[in-house]
Amino acid sequence: MARAAGVVVVGASIAGLTVVEELRSKGFGGPITLLESEDTAGYSRPLLSKGVLAGEGDPSTALLPAPEDLGVDVLRGTSARGLDLDRNLVELDGDALPFDKLVVATGARALTLHDLGANDDCVPEVVLRTMDDAVRLRDLLGSARTVLVVGGGVLGMEVASAASSKGLAVTVVDRGAPMARTGGAFLSRMVSACARERGVQLVSAPEGARLVERDSRPAVVAGGHLLEADVVVTAVGCRPNVEWLARTGLSLSPGVVVDNRCRVREHIAAAGDVVSVEGSRRQPHWSTALDQARVAADVLLYGDDASPYINRPYFWTDQFGLSVKFAGRPTSDDPELVDGSQDTLSGLWRWTDAGHPHAAVAINRRIPIARLLHTAGHS
């Protein structure tokens, strides 16, 4: 394959697309090649567990802008298989792509119970990560009466919420309280109350759940009980797509490790769910992918003159009638109400430590992200 080197971006989801947009908006006119394993147009994953799963609107409403419009050579259905750091080549099946600069934006895939050693029998697992997963799960829910979700994090609770709004009997199994790890005790209590009000059964299994097969159907063993349902969904997290970098000697645990300017090497940057920023924990959220992608593009253009990445922890979720926007790190204590009221399930709350704000949550409240981050002490 004879190609001008230029910038190669591996992964054409939100991180890869944002890198490309940022490079072009900052005036980079050289060749850019974008590689993507999937052979379909890029789409927004957050919409999968919301609109697409609920069957609201056509899946095409989840499509991302086309990078082709930015004069980018997009190779869909093409996976990076390896990276030759000595010769600056991305290895493909039987081919190789040269680069001057590289961006790793290969994201993550669904973690399964099998990955966690909790599915010895290799029972097929239903997960939600891709558009195909979403369409398949939507169809499965359409013909089911009962659903069991393993994992009470953002994704698991959104799946449970969508299934419950379709009238299914829903059970969620988690090691702890739903949403507690991501949103802390206060949000967990609020979400749990709203889920229970809609008839969702919340099962705590501190020892973890195990997937087994009973009468050719998947079932879950949790807390010494066998729980059966028409559909069992695994929503226990995601794992970074780093296998193609395995022979490079780069630090890959728990994701490709970058410095505070999203740099892997001088001419290689990384962004999004695949990344682990040196010294902090992985944060596989949409806004993190956007922020890191902008820094990754800038560092390729400006090197040390690029502004460093500022970690502004933020996520949103819609579930059980609650539209939640959360900034900062959750803690187990109760927040103070800034405005609104808990009775109406609408308000802005913040957590402080010795008078200094460190987290805030807006529930059923329209609020610019900048104001939420400011309330959380992260502006």
Ligand X SMILES: Cc1cc2nc3c(=O)[nH]c(=O)nc-3n(C[C@H](O)[C@H](O)[C@H](O)COP(=O)(O)OP(=O)(O)OC[C@H]3O[C@@H](n4cnc5c(N)ncnc54)[C@H](O)[C@@H]3O)c2cc1C
- Which positions touch ligand X (CB under 6 A)? 10-16, 35-38, 45-46, 48-49, 79-80, 105-108, 128-129, 155, 241, 244, 272-273, 284-287, 289, 315-317
Sheet architecture: strand order including 95-98: 82-84, 89-92, 95-98
Q: Kindly state the smallest distance separating residue 314's Cβ from ligand X, in Å.
A: 7
Q: Kindly state the smallest distance separating residue 315's Cβ from ligand X, in Å.
A: 4
Q: Kindly state the smallest distance separating residue 9's Cβ from ligand X, in Å.
A: 9
Between 161 and 210, name the residue whose CB sits nearer to ligand X. Answer: 161
Q: Kindly state the smallest distance separating residue 74's Cβ from ligand X, in Å.
A: 11
Q: For the stretch 144-161, what's the b/e string if a residue is b when 16 or more beta carbons lie within 10 angstroms of its beta carbon?
A: beebbbbbbbbbbbbbbb
| 201 burial via Cβ count (<10 Å: 0-12, 13-18, 19+) | middle
Between 55 and 212, name the residue whose CB sits nearer to ligand X. Answer: 55
| 114 burial via Cβ count (<10 Å: 0-12, 13-18, 19+) | middle
Q: How far lies 133's CA from each of 1, 108, 114, 218, in Å?
A: 33, 14, 17, 17
Residue with tokens 């430590």: 353
| 370 burial via Cβ count (<10 Å: 0-12, 13-18, 19+) | exposed
Q: How far lies 310's CA from each of 80, 336, 343, in Å?
A: 29, 26, 35
Between 80 and 168, name the residue whose CB sits nearer to ligand X. Answer: 80
Q: Kindly state the smallest distance separating residue 60's Cβ from ligand X, in Å.
A: 17
Between 244 and 320, name the residue whose CB sits nearer to ligand X. Answer: 244
Strand intervals (E) in 11-111: 32-36, 73-76, 82-84, 89-92, 95-98, 101-104, 108-110
Q: Kindly state the smallest distance separating residue 95's Cβ from ligand X, in Å.
A: 13
Q: Kindly state the smallest distance separating residue 214's Cβ from ligand X, in Å.
A: 28
- What is the SS3 assignment for 229? coil
Between 210 and 294, name the residue whose CB sits nearer to ligand X. Answer: 294
Q: Kindly state the smallest distance separating residue 283's Cβ from ligand X, in Å.
A: 8
Q: For the stretch 45-72, what's the b/e string if a residue is b when 16 or more beta carbons lie within 10 angstroms of its beta carbon?
A: bbbbbbbbbbeeeebeebebeebeebeb
Between 179 and 221, name the residue whose CB sits nearer to ligand X. Answer: 179
How far apart are the C-alpha atoms of 26 and 261, rounded to whole Å? Answer: 17
Between 11 and 335, name the residue whose CB sits nearer to ligand X. Answer: 11
How far apart are the C-alpha atoms of 153 and 146, rounded to whole Å? Answer: 20
Between 9 and 118, name the residue whose CB sits nearer to ligand X. Answer: 9
List phi, psi (to 5°) of 243: -60, -35
The closest of 240, 288, 245 to 264, measured between CA atoms, is 245
Between 76 and 212, name the residue whose CB sits nearer to ligand X. Answer: 76
Q: Are 228 and 214 in contact (CB under 8 A)?
A: yes
